[in-house]
Structure formats: structure tokens, C-alpha cells
Chains A and B, each alone.
Chain A
Amino acid sequence: MISPMIQLILTFLVVVGVFVALYFLSRRSQPAGGSESLLEGRAALDALQRELLPPEMLDRIFSKADHEYVSQDASAAVRELFLKERRKIALSWAHELREQILSLRRFHLGSARFYARLSVRTEIKLALQFLSLLFLCQILRGLFFVRGAYGAPRVVGYAVAASARICSISENAMSFLKAGELDSPSENPERTPMLL
């Protein structure tokens, strides 16, 4: 038999899980509805596409050219100020990236929950991708905080590439959301969202 102590610990973990979930449930405010999450999702995609991920923007923030230029001629105080300001910008970038990824996830979940043809495998894959990307954003923030804006070039590249993967999987997961099909929901009840 399983050791009584292990049984006790396992059950204790389950019970703690139940009580923690109940605590958050009792404090939970009503989540946003479908239309709100759609608008939020669009805004998130827009922000990611136009503000956070374009190569020009990434070059501007993380390219070492500016740093080299300042290092050549400026005084130590100016260099220090430059690095400090650049770190602030990098931290803001990582924070915004995380916020927009969260919005994208809300958008995806807000849509996916209505569809009976949802693929559980894709959902799990997507959940793990979102989780790892959010974790990566936190690591990036930590690295920027400790080592400055130029301290994690590879992680920045990895985060950007992971964002691309998320978008790709999310797009596949929502491939049934085609404009033509949504215009005639009664043709296939399985695909019909709950439009009330």
C-alpha cells in the first residue's frame, strides 16, 4: 500500500487545491463577455503587429549601434544615463509584450469556448505555448532588470520567435472562424456559436 504519510500529503495537496480555487472563485469578478474579448483581441494583435514586434522597433531598442555611438564620445555620466533609459524602455517593451500576449489568450479562449469542434490537443498545446511565452516574458524582465537592455539578445530573439509560433497555432485553432461560415450559422449547428 502507499505509505500513509504519502497518502496524507497527496490528499492534503488536493484539499489545499480545492480551498485555493474556492478562495479565488469567491474573489473573482465577472469575466468579460464575447464581444469585449474580440475587441480586446483585435487591439492586442494590432499592438503586437505595429508596435512591439516589427523588426525596425526591435532594432531601435536592442541594436548595439546606439550604445556604441554613445560609448565613443559621451562622458561616463551620459553613458550611464543612456543605459538606464534603455533598460527602462526594454522593461516596458517586455511588460507590454506580456500584456498583449495575455490579451491574445483571452481573445482565443473567449472564442474557443463556444465551439464544439474545438481540438483538445491543440488547446493543450496552445495553453503550454502561452504559458511558456508568459514565463519567458517574466525572465526577460528579470534579465533586463539585472543586466540591462543588452543583456539578453538571444532570449529576445527566442521570445519573438515563440510569439510567432503562438500566432501560428492560434490561427490554426481558429481556422473554422471563416467569415463565410459565420454568416450562415444554421448550416452546421456544431459550428454555431451561442449567439444570444
Chain B
Amino acid sequence: MLMATFIIWWAGIAIEFVMVLRALTTGVAKKFPFFFVYLFSVLCGDVLLYCAYEFRPAWYHAGTRDMEFLNLVLGYGIVLEIFRHVLSHYPGAEKFARVAGTAVFAAIFGFALVYPAVSSGNASVRPIKVAIEKDFLTVQAIFFLGILGVIFYYGLPLGRNIKGIILGYGVWLGAILMTLTLRSYIGSSFNSILIVAQPFSYLLSLFIWLEALWSYEPNPVASVPNRLEADYSAAAAATRNMMGAMRSHVGRAARP
């Protein structure tokens, strides 16, 4: 293993430890439980794997595989945090994201079911583990893109914490997905780059998360102040009247 990889590994463990400790003392962990369960599991995994690497090398490879899979699954917790903190305040946008997400999953699932039946059936020679990991991450990335699309489309405001979580997760997801794809395309010769690029991208994400989650900042929610409720009722009625009038104007204008 390269020295650079070790340095990234130690730095990663140190940052994860600081983040978990800080989150527990400031109460940020309670606000983002799924995210910190993920981070805590990564921290435990990193420490255990380091010990295994030093003292029981035979356990290291099996442990790496299990931890990577566990973290992939727990990574969905980050998406849940985005739903909880951003979309849950906007039932309309949440419904849109839910329906779009279900449609994406259905499309991917349908493709996965149908494709083997219609393909030539040539078995792939790529490693199964890389393939599963890559497919799993691709689904995550498409789902993540969909959520970002809804956030942009409906102009949902984001606080510092959740924005940092999204940025860090996106950087990690994009980098890991790209390296795994290149690995399955180029082959094992790409491993020398992969073993540095993946931990480095994760370290970058950790720095983003550390800065963003140092202290809790509630996510802003676009509000219609109570004072405006009466005005809004009048505005809604006026808007309907205006739209009706405008339609008749436009109807006349559209005719040659």
C-alpha cells in the first residue's frame, strides 16, 4: 500500500473522529441521525480495518468487502436526510420527488429484469464486486440527480448544513462512480490510480462535511407569513380574475 494512501487513511479517521465527537457534544448528531449513523459506521469500519491490516491481514480483504457494502447501503441515509430536512417542508415538491424517484426505480428495475432476456447473453468478465458496487452507485447517483433537480426546479432554500451534506456526498458519489467505471473499462491496471483517487475524494468530502456541520444551522423554510394570509386570499381571487380577463385578451389577440 502506498504511503499516500496511509496518510489519507489516518487523516480520514482523525476527521471522522472529530466530526462524530463534535456532533455528539453540540447536538448536531440528533438533527442529522441518518448521516451520523453512516459516518459512525465508516469510522468504526476504518478503525477495525486498520487494525486488521496491521495485525490480521487475512481478515482485511473480507472486512473491506463487507464494510464497503454496508456503507453503500447506509449511504442512502444521506438521501433520507435531504428528504427529511429539505423536501418534507414542501409537500408538493416532496410528492413530485417521490413520484419521480419511484418512476426512476421502476425504470431501472424493469431494465434490469428485461435486459438479460433480450441481450446476447455473453457473460461479463468484469469482477462481480465492482459491477454490483457500480450499479448500486449509479442508481444512487440518478436518484440524487433527481432530488437536486426538484430542489432547483422548485427553488427550495438550503441551509449551510444540508448544502454541505449534499456537496460532500455528491463529490464522493461522482468520484467513486467515475473511478469504478474506469476500473471496469480499463481493467486491473487502473487499480493503482483507484486506490489513491477513491480515498482522496472521500477525504475531500470529509473536509466539506467538517466545515458545513461544525455547528447546527436550521434549514430555512420559505414561508407565507400569517399577516399575508388575508392578502393572499385576496391575491388568489384577484389572480383568478386577472387570468380570466387575460385569456379573453389573448384569445382575441391570437386571432389574425
A-B interface contact total, Cβ < 8 Å: 207
Partner of B239, one of A31, A45, A120, A163: A45
Task: Tell whether B110 is near chain A: CB-to-CB under 8 Å.
Answer: no
Secondary structure class of chain B's binding surface, majority of residues: helix
Which residues from chain B contact A71 at a C-beta distance below 8 Å?
none
Complex-state Cα separation, A18 to B168, whole angstroms: 12
Find chain A residues with CB under 8 A from B92 CB: 112-116, 118
Chain B residues, Cβ within 8 Å of A26: 163, 167
Query: A109 and B155 in contact (CB under 8 A), knowing A25-B167, A120-B99, A167-B250?
Result: yes
Q: Given the interface contacts A15-B178, A18-B170, A194-B221, does A38 sit within 8 Å of B235 by beta carbon?
A: yes
**Residue of B whose beta carbon sits closest to that of A153:** B256
- A35-B224, A157-B256 known; A1+B119 contact, CB < 8 A: yes
Q: When the two chains form their complex, are residues B223 and A33 in contact, meaning their CB atoms are under 8 A apart?
A: yes
Q: Could you name 9 residue pairs across A and B whose Cβ atoms are closer than 8 Å?
A: A2-B119, A4-B185, A18-B177, A25-B151, A35-B228, A113-B154, A115-B91, A164-B246, A182-B233
**Cβ proximity bits A173-195 to B, threshold 8 Å, 1 near / 0 not:** 01001111011000000100111
Complex interface bits, A2-42 against B, C-beta within 8 A gives 1, otherwise 0: 10110110011011011101101110101111110110011
Which listed residue, B91, B178, B235, touches A11 by the CB 8 Å rule? B178
From A22, which residue of chain B is reached at the shortest CB distance? B170
Most buried by B among A1, A42, A174: A1
A167 is contacted by which of B91, B230, B246 (Cβ under 8 Å)? B246
**B119 surroundings in chain A (CB, below 8 A):** 1-2
Judging by beta carbons under 8 Å apart, are A8 and B182 in contact? yes
Say yes or no: is A127 at the interface (Cβ < 8 Å to chain B): yes
> A152 at the A/B interface (Cβ < 8 Å)?
no
* Cα–Cα distance between A121 and B119 once the two chains are bound (Å): 33
Q: Does A171 make an interface contact (CB < 8 A)?
A: yes
Q: Is the interface of A mostly helix, strand, loop or mixed?
A: helix
Cβ–Cβ < 8 Å partners of B33 in chain A = none
B171 contact set on A, CB distance < 8 A = 22
B-side residues, CB < 8 A to A, are: 89-93, 95-96, 99-100, 115, 119-120, 122, 124, 134, 138, 141-142, 144-145, 148-149, 151-158, 163, 166-167, 170-171, 173-174, 177-178, 181-182, 184-185, 220-226, 228-230, 232-240, 242-247, 249-254, 256
Which range holds the interface residue count of chain A? 35 or more
A35 adjacent to B225 (CB under 8 Å): yes
Contact (Cβ within 8 A) A113 B144: no
Q: Which residue in A1, A17, A19, A46 is a CB contact (below 8 Å) of B242?
A: A46
* B178 A12 Cβ-Cβ under 8 A: yes
- Nearest residue (CB) in B for A107 is B239
Among residues of B, the one whose C-beta sits closest to the C-beta of A35 is B228
Write the chain A residue with the least CB distance to B89: A194
Beta-carbon contact of B247 and A168 below 8 Å: yes
B250, A15: Cβ atoms under 8 Å? Answer: no
Residues on the B chain within 8 Å of A171, using CB: 240, 243-244
Q: How far is the CA of A171 from the CA of B241 in the complex (A)?
A: 10
Looking at the complex, which one of A24, A106, A182 makes contact with B155 (CB distance below 8 Å)?
A106
Q: Using an 8 Å CB-CB cutoff, how does the interface string of A104-145 with B read, 1 for contact, 0 for none? A: 001001101111101010010001000000000000000000
Determine if B252 and A55 form an interchain contact, defined as CB atoms under 8 angstroms apart: yes
List chain A residues, Cβ under 8 A from B167.
Answer: 22, 25-26
Interface flag for A89 (CB, 8 Å): no
A49 to B238, CA, bound (A): 13
Smallest distance from the beta carbon of A115 to chain B beta carbons, Å?
4
Query: Are the C-beta atoms of A18 and B95 separated by less than 8 Å?
Result: no
- Which chain A residues numbered 35 to 83 have a C-beta less than 8 Å away from chain B? 35, 37-38, 41-42, 45-46, 48-49, 53-55, 58
Give the shortest distance, in Å, between A49 (CB) and chain B (any CB): 4
Is A146 interfacial (CB 8 A cutoff)? no
